[in-house]
Amino acid sequence: MTVNEIKERLSLTILGGQKGLNNQVSGGYVSDLLSDVMGNADAAQVWITLQTHKNVMAIASLKDLAAVILINNHQPDEDMLGQSNEEGIPVLATSLSAFEVTGKLYELLK
């Protein structure tokens, strides 16, 4: 499944990194601790978080993640969006909580 299909199915808003909408998604990882993501997330996963600063994109890029979903209408810092566009890693937003959006994404991907 692509990031774009997930965006459509979960009614997510795309905020940046449109170039990566065709990235393939293999699964997801939910965490607000950056070292946890660094240590345990895998390539092609979607990262669900409330962190909104530029380092999120540094990690997403280093780990070859497919996309980042910001929960509870959190808005990214400007330099986070800048790097999202540069790297082509989509940043998507939802009004749902981490619990809700994770449940829906899990249903889609299982």
Site of interaction with other proteins (CB under 8 A): 32-36, 38-39, 43, 49, 51, 53-55, 58-59, 61-63, 79
Nearer to other proteins (CB atom), residue 32 or residue 107: 32
Among the listed residues 86, 78, 80, the one whose alpha carbon sits nearest the alpha carbon of residue 47: 80
Measured from the CB of residue 23, what is the shortest distance to other proteins in angstroms?
17
Give me the least distance between CB of 34 and other proteins, in Å please: 4
Any long-range contacts for 26-31 (C-beta under 8 Å, 24+ apart)?
A: 26/66, 27/109, 28/102, 28/105, 28/106, 28/109, 29/65, 30/98, 30/102
Shortest Cβ 84–other proteins spacing (Å): 14
Measured at the CA of 34, the angle between CA 74 and CA 68, to 5 degrees, comes to: 45
Among residues 22 and 50, whose Cβ is nearest to other proteins? 50
Residue (15 or 59) nearer to other proteins, CB: 59
Counted residue by residue, the chain has a size of 110
Q: Which is nearer to other proteins, 9 or 53 (CB)?
A: 53
65: number of CA atoms within 13 Å, CB side?
28
Closest approach of other proteins to the CB of residue 17, in Å: 16
